Amino acid sequence: MAASERQRRLKWGLFPQVLKGDVPYADRRPELADVCVGEKVVMVMRTPAWQEVMQPLLDALDAERPRKGPAPAYDSTELESCLLYARLVGAATWGEARTLLAGDRAGCDREALGFDHPRQRVGAGLSLVRSREGVPSETTVWRHKRRFGLQRHTSAYRVLFERLVEEHFKEWDEQLSEEARLVHWDGSMLLSHYTSFERKKRATGEVKPPTLSGGGYRPRTTGNAGKDGHGFCLVAAVTQTGLPLVARLTPINEPEAQTARHILEDEWRRVVTPRLGDEVVRVMACDAAYSGGHMREAVHRAGYIPNCHPVSHADVPRSTANAKRKDDARLAIRRHPKWHLNGHHELGCECGQGKSFRRAATKADGDAVARLEGSCPKCGSVCLTAGQWRPYGSGKRRGVEKALEDDRHLIDWRIGNPLTFNDPVSAAYGSARFGHNEGFHGALVTRFGLLKEKSWHRSREQAERDLLQVFCAMHAIAKEQRLRQAARAAPAAGGGGSGAPPPLALAA
């Protein structure tokens, strides 16, 4: 093997390796190949989290329904399964989903959901039913949503999602903890046909009130094609196998990095941090929108090392020229005259023979520590710890120096981060983000019918409820896939029918 080939081989050290394989909830998984959508709805509803969070609310709805006359044809649990079914088939409305469920090819779905036999219809003013009588009508499901209430409905799914994440860690801690060693952050636009501010009719001067609640507006520019208009922004942290751990829906004009930092300081510490366990090195990968100092500091406080570059890797003239300028830049290191940094904060020595090393650890208090070290027989050694250095000077006199207590606000968290622009391990993490994190957002579009063009969501609560229903289904289906994988692996290994599934194959 040539020396150049040996230099290109990835050396992970203590850093997490990139996992290979499909996402656990993917339809193409062999354990889920023969599972219909109705059975996936049942997977969600039979989880302990559902029985603990949602079932008491649904039972309370049934208790609140009028008791005069015959009993209702459907209880609240059955009607809630209709909403989950509509979301999992990617239908915009229950009417569209009902057309699929009542069709000739949905016999398995109707049987799984208990809609495979006619129900006795009661009430005044009944009209002729032209579809299968066992499937609830649009009016029946609409009444269920009205009884539940949008705010209470959304809050219930928010609690259910967090409870399912905790349950997933508890039941499959080894697998999910390994997958969560590399977390991807990204944002996606959820645009709406409705408007978030007042509009005035030119002809009559009439002022029309906003039709979108809780949303925002982003004007059109030359660089945001398809991401302008009225709506929301979904910011989510996803494991390297495509499982969302935390997520938040905000107005479209709010900065993604600010939202992610608030998530790390709130939901992440409450839901994810207590389940991470051992003091191992973890990485969060994200794009340039998250490269600010406050976000990087929050990532370190969460026990992760950021893998984020303000310079794009895109193979376009503007990006390549910007990258070359950073490559050619020189920043002096105070007290280390024979060493310097380039614009990417990568180490170089005076003679050009020095080598750099990645160092990382997790402290007892949970904070992550990252160091970039250099060693050379002629130029000596240098060690830069992220969070301890600040820039100084300008022009050709630019450099970095240790920050004093009064200079904490000037710290540049990029200095000392070993996952630099040209680092091969950093590049591997960036490529993995497109494989699974972008696949996660793609599944929301193609499989679940969300984030697709403009929607008809009138409020943030309505859009958030639909997203949370999908996230809950992802975790419930993933848990079932792991259980079936373990059951298939146990006989092949000569054991019984219990035990944890084998870990996913790692990249070479």
| Residue located via tokens 């090392």 | 305
CA atoms within 13 A on the CB side of 418: 27
SS (H, E, C) 283-299: EEECCHHHCCHHHHHHH
Distance CA 439, CA 17 (A): 19
Q: Which residues of 116-252 form beta strands (DSSP E)?
A: 182-192, 199-200, 207-208, 216-218, 229-239, 244-251
The Cα-based distances of 205 to 45, 198, 201, 209, 379 in angstroms read 51, 12, 5, 13, 74
Burial class (CB in 10 A: 0-12, 13-18, 19+), 127: exposed
Closest C-alpha among 502, 493, 489 to residue 31: 489
| Residue located via tokens 């009508």 | 137
Give the largest CA-CA distance in the chain. Answer: 93
Transcribe 155-169 into DSSP letters. HHHHHHHHHHHHHHH
The Cα-based distances of 278 to 168, 174, 254, 355, 363 in angstroms read 17, 11, 34, 30, 11
Q: Does domain 179-309+423-462 have CATH number 3.30.420?
A: yes
Distance CA 337, CA 508 (A): 38
**Do residues 179 and 243 make contact, with C-beta atoms less than 8 angstroms apart?**
yes
Q: Where are the domains of the chain?
A: 30-118+134-148, 179-309+423-462, 323-410
Distance CA 416, CA 403 (A): 13
pLDDT tens, the chain, 508 aa long: 333 333 445 677 789 989 887 789 998 899 999 999 999 999 999 999 999 999 999 999 999 988 777 788 899 999 999 999 999 999 999 999 999 999 889 999 999 999 988 776 655 455 555 556 789 989 999 999 999 999 999 999 999 999 999 999 999 999 999 999 999 999 999 999 999 988 888 888 888 899 999 999 999 887 777 788 999 999 999 999 999 999 999 999 999 999 999 999 999 999 999 998 777 899 999 998 899 999 999 999 999 999 999 888 877 888 889 889 999 999 999 999 999 999 999 999 999 899 999 999 988 888 999 999 999 999 999 999 999 999 999 888 899 999 998 888 999 999 999 999 999 999 989 888 776 556 788 889 989 999 888 999 999 999 999 999 999 999 999 999 999 999 988 776 665 544 554 444 433 3
Beta strands 283-285 and 182-192 are parallel
Both tokens assigned to 35: 């599972």
Distance CA 469, CA 116 (A): 24
Position 155 scores a pLDDT of 97
Both tokens assigned to 485: 């994988």
The Cα-based distances of 329 to 353, 388, 427 in angstroms read 18, 21, 21
* Helix-, strand-, coil-residue percentages of the chain, each rounded to 5: 40, 20, 40
pTM: 0.89
